Amino acid sequence: MTEQNIQFIICPVCDGSGKNKYNLACSNCSGMGVGTFFGGTFYYWGLRMGIAVIKLNRLKKKADLLVNLFAFVVGLIGLLALFWWVWANSSGGNIEDLFFWKRKHWLILVFWTSLLFDMFVFYRLSEAAAAKQKIKKNSGEKTVKTDELPNNWKELKQFKSKIDVSSGMGNGAMGVIEDSYIIARRLKHKRVEIMHLFFSLFKDKSVFALFSRLNVDQEKLIRKIKERISKITANGKTELSVEVKKALIEAYLRAMELKQNEVNPLNLVLPCQSRDKVLAEILYDLEIDRDKIINCLAWFRINDKMLERYRTYRKMAGFKPSNNMDRAYTSVATPVLNHLADDLTIAAKWGRLSFSVARDKEIKDIFQQFQSGHTGVILVGEDGVGKNSVVEAIAQLMVEEAVPKIIQDKRLVKLDVSRLVSGATASQAQERLLTIIDEVVRAGNIILYIDNIENIVGISSGGEESLDLSEVLVGAIERGSIFCLATATTRNYVKYIEDTPLGNATAKIKINEPEGNQAIQIIESKIGPLEAKYKVYFSYDSLENVIKLSQRYMHDKYLPAKAVELLELIAVKVSQSKGEWGVVSKDDIARAVSEATGIPISKVTAKESDILLNMEDKIHQRMINQEEAVSMVASSLRRARAQLTGNKRPIASFLFLGPTGVGKTELAKTVADIYFGDEKSMVRVDMSEYQHADSVKKMIGSAQGTRGYLTEAVRKAPFSLILLDEFEKAHPDILNLFLQVMDDGRLTDGQGRTIDFTNSIIISTSNAGAVYIQNEVAAGTDIEKIKEVLINEKLNKIMRPELINRFDGVIVFKPLSEGNVLDITRLMLAKIGKTLEKKGIRMRAEDGGIKILAGEGYDPKFGARPLRRLLQDKVENVIADKILAGELERRDTVVIDDNAEVKVEKGEKL
């Protein structure tokens, strides 16, 4: 439920205030003012706030407490009176002296009277407990014909199904609302605004804890809110504003949706954020957005839920048999199985398995498969995505018996494959498995679980005709005589199981790597034990960052396992460095990721926005000329990233056109270095190698197990630049692949995996029309015009226009001028100088020499490409010879003189 889909109805007569000008209930809406329909019921705020009401309410709570306390004390006195009497009469040694119900004494009278007070206390507590359910349940699924709902206030007044949401407020939430009223009244504000409400929220412990988790500078936040409150000018008799009423109704609906008993202060946080734009902005400035609040609230809820689940779970677990038998003792002992397997239900009964969250859908799928008659189910997913924890969750559900009837009163037993095959020949292993299957069939109360089932594929007892170990199992599954759960990684499933008898006999359920909020919530459920174990405190930002950074920089493992491993590592470090209850911050996570991956920390923590804003300057530190190209690339990247929400395309894609040697590849390298932190974060594909139709296989792999060059590279390093050299030379089928990549941001490889391209930049280069560009630039034609002609007349002959249109930018590189070449020569010499510096040798180049080198190295056909070769021959080689000959030593200076000769100036002798 979001604030967008709650449609509020506001009384046009009183504008939602619920009062007329005489301060009486508005006659049009009878004081309801504002409300909304949900599931056929009308929800409104009906309580009229007033200082007297608040004070009396609080007085009543105190009075209630006093009455209970008084009754309790009287009850206690009665009990003491009885004990006193017994103590006084116990000296006689006669048991009949202690039959107090037969004796007369004033102490006993006190006792009997006090019993009435005990009963009264019991009554009051029972009623209080019964009153805890303040929210009336409304599933929202009740179908109500819209024409049955009232469509004006007059009909609404008569409408039966109305709920005053103030009745659903818990003590905490009511206290917050009352406080906000008192504050507004004290300041003589006419309305209680969201700011008042939000300000009073901070008195609540749970809200305080929430913002501590969010690592907010609470002082700053409260100061800002106070400033806003002080700017409120409308004075008058205080009442709740319409926005506050809306927020309260929204909080009620939210709490109802979460099946809470009552509205608590935490429920008010999100409605406040969404109902007041200024507040949302203030929070945003403190780096808190809606998603963060939602995930952090989910964290609190997950903890509560896990505690509650643990309590009911312990209660239910008491009823599960702790031996191998079913409850009717009809099953058979399974000695061989017990020897080779672990009983997960018993482990679950004793609480040895951890709880899993956010996997309800997968569990439901598994149950449905069992119910629909499939007795074999394989969970397929990458290592560490939580296949095992799904199975463990099932074991726990089986302990609670909260499973479909066909798997109730059963055991979930995990077969240890390594024990099955170890020390046995293939035929012995087969015999063991047969015995186990026999036992399972006869026992009838066992669900067999085989982790990494591919391990039993391919073990056969000899000749060609003999059965594979897995086929022994298949027979039993096909007969429907055993239930079998198994897991396999995606790769092994495709390689060993798909299209084999085992694959055909079992239903496949995909366990995907959790993403975004789901991943964060799974991690949140693991934090409690980590915090207790290492005595550290995780901020919400640290969790978000661990997901973000591990996704970005660690590609060999999968979520949530890689995040949990990382968190454990960090917890140890922080507990050592910051002491007990140190807070794990965002930076601790960045440091750990940097250590684990070897990526410099500055890159890990660098903000994308900073990189993007200074892109041109950074590129020009490495590149000469091509101002238009550089600024176009930079601005396209900025454009592409600014509209990043929900973007399912690569970060950006460009087509670089221009003659050879003008810096196309150099620009691509520079972008990779600046944007992804390393020149090597680049997948370079020479498209002239993919000129035939069957090179598609080479590019994306095949089902036979060949891995695609491109897909494999991108899968391993999704955050990289893909450089497609000589793009136009590839076969049209390959070009079509890129049509899809640039459109959807993904590609399915030969093995059926979906490869994500949304984190990559694609740059294609082409020499097409190079001569034309050279001629036109020489003739002084405008670069935009050249581009237009190129696209419309030259490119469309070799590439489909829709492909050209897919690129975020087509960028034309100008041929280099002599001045440019001079600058490039300087840049390259400076690079050589830098390597010499490490040897303690300085370098200086005279202008005349540079000019000569530039003139010799420049070729109008090849641009600056021959220059590198020339510098190698004329400078680097000479220097190398001199170093080897001992002519050039530390503290010497290499001079390239006006004749472009390499000379040595001897340094000072020490």
Pairing of strands 761-766, 721-725: parallel
Rounded Cα gap, residues 557 and 238, in angstroms:
58
Q: Binding of another protein at residue 115 (CB under 8 A)?
A: yes
DSSP state of 859: B
Rounded Cα gap, residues 509 and 504, in angstroms:
13
Could you give the string, one character per residue 288-327, with x where binding to another protein holds by CB under 8 A and - elsewhere? ------------------------------xx-------x
Q: How far is the CB of 316 from another protein (least distance, A)?
A: 9
Rounded Cα gap, residues 14 and 813, in angstroms:
67
* 3-state DSSP assignment of residue 233: coil
Burial grade of 781 (CB within 10 A; 0-12, 13-18, 19 or more): middle
Q: Binding of another protein at residue 405 (CB under 8 A)?
A: no
Nearest CA among 134, 146, 164, 150 for reference residue 255: 134
Q: How far is the CB of 443 from another protein (least distance, A)?
A: 7
Give the one residue of 7, 52, 141, 231 binding another protein; rule: CB under 8 A: 52
Q: Binding of another protein at residue 119 (CB under 8 A)?
A: yes
Give the one residue of 65, 67, 307, 880 binding another protein; rule: CB under 8 A: 67
Place of tokens 């799904």: 390
Give how far the C-alpha of residue 521 lies from the chain's centroid of Cα atoms, to the nearest Å: 7
The DSSP annotation for 717-763 comes to -SSSEEEEETGGGS-HHHHHHHHHHHHHSEEE-TTSPEEE-TT-EEE
Write out the H or E segment, with its range, that includes residue 604: helix 601-605
Give the one residue of 56, 98, 258, 830 binding another protein; rule: CB under 8 A: 56
Rounded Cα gap, residues 603 and 800, in angstroms:
38
Could you give the string, one character per residue 21-40, with x where binding to another protein holds by CB under 8 A and - elsewhere? --xx----------------
Q: How far is the CB of 125 from another protein (least distance, A)?
A: 11
Q: What is the token pair recorded at 284?
A: 């945003």
Of 23 and 817, nearer to another protein (C-beta) is 23
Of 331 and 767, nearer to another protein (C-beta) is 331
Nearest CA among 794, 789, 792, 786 for reference residue 768: 794
Give the one residue of 113, 218, 702, 706 binding another protein; rule: CB under 8 A: 113
Place of tokens 């510098």: 871
Q: How far is the CB of 438 from another protein (least distance, A)?
A: 11
Give the one residue of 72, 120, 719, 772 binding another protein; rule: CB under 8 A: 120
Q: How far is the CB of 382 from another protein (least distance, A)?
A: 41
Q: How far is the CB of 339 from another protein (least distance, A)?
A: 18
Give the one residue of 73, 98, 109, 693 binding another protein; rule: CB under 8 A: 109
With contacts defined by CB under 8 A, name the span among 60-68, 347-355, 389-397, 819-827 that binds another protein: 60-68
Q: How far is the CB of 251 from another protein (least distance, A)?
A: 23
Residues 826-865 that bind another protein (CB under 8 A): none
Rounded Cα gap, residues 13 and 31, in angstroms:
11
Residues 168-187 that bind another protein (CB under 8 A): none
Write out the H or E segment, with its range, that includes residue 433: helix 426-443
Q: How far is the CB of 746 from another protein (least distance, A)?
A: 51
Q: Residue 527 carries which side chain, given as an amino acid letter?
A: I
Q: How far is the CB of 113 from another protein (least distance, A)?
A: 6
Residues 449-488 that bind another protein (CB under 8 A): none
Nearest CA among 257, 298, 479 for reference residue 375: 479
Q: Binding of another protein at residue 50 (CB under 8 A)?
A: yes
Q: How far is the CB of 120 from another protein (least distance, A)?
A: 6
Of 105 and 868, nearer to another protein (C-beta) is 105
Burial grade of 88 (CB within 10 A; 0-12, 13-18, 19 or more): exposed
Q: How far is the CB of 319 from another protein (least distance, A)?
A: 5
Rounded Cα gap, residues 16 and 37, in angstroms:
15
Q: How far is the CB of 117 from another protein (least distance, A)?
A: 11
Find out whether 685 and 710 touch, Cβ atoms under 8 Å: yes
Give the one residue of 2, 27, 64, 576 binding another protein; rule: CB under 8 A: 64
- Residue 707 phi, psi dihedral angles, 5° rounding: -95, 140
With contacts defined by CB under 8 A, name the span among 44-52, 558-566, 811-819, 868-876 that binds another protein: 44-52
Rounded Cα gap, residues 802 and 148, in angstroms:
53
Give the one residue of 15, 27, 53, 291 binding another protein; rule: CB under 8 A: 53
Q: Binding of another protein at residue 333 (CB under 8 A)?
A: yes
Buried b or exposed e, range 390-401, using 16+ CB within 10 angstroms: bbbbbbbbbbbe
Place of tokens 């000019």: 851
Residues 423-452 that bind another protein (CB under 8 A): 442-444
With contacts defined by CB under 8 A, name the span among 61-69, 465-473, 483-491, 881-889 that binds another protein: 61-69
State how far the alpha carbon of 817 is from the alpha carbons of 776, 830, 862, in Å.
14, 20, 12
The DSSP annotation for 243-298 comes to HHHHHHHHHHHHHHHTT-SSB-HHHHHHHHHHH-HHHHHHHHHTT--HHHHHHHHH
Q: How far is the CB of 108 from another protein (least distance, A)?
A: 6
Q: Binding of another protein at residue 101 (CB under 8 A)?
A: yes
Count of residues engaged in binding another protein, rule: CB under 8 A: 42
With contacts defined by CB under 8 A, name the span among 99-107, 529-537, 583-591, 810-818 that binds another protein: 99-107
Rounded Cα gap, residues 786 and 809, in angstroms:
15
Of 82 and 843, nearer to another protein (C-beta) is 82
Residues of this chain that interact with another protein (CB under 8 A) are: 23-24, 48, 50, 52-53, 55-56, 59-60, 63-64, 67, 101, 104-106, 108-109, 112-113, 115-116, 119-120, 123-124, 126-127, 130, 318-319, 327-333, 442-444
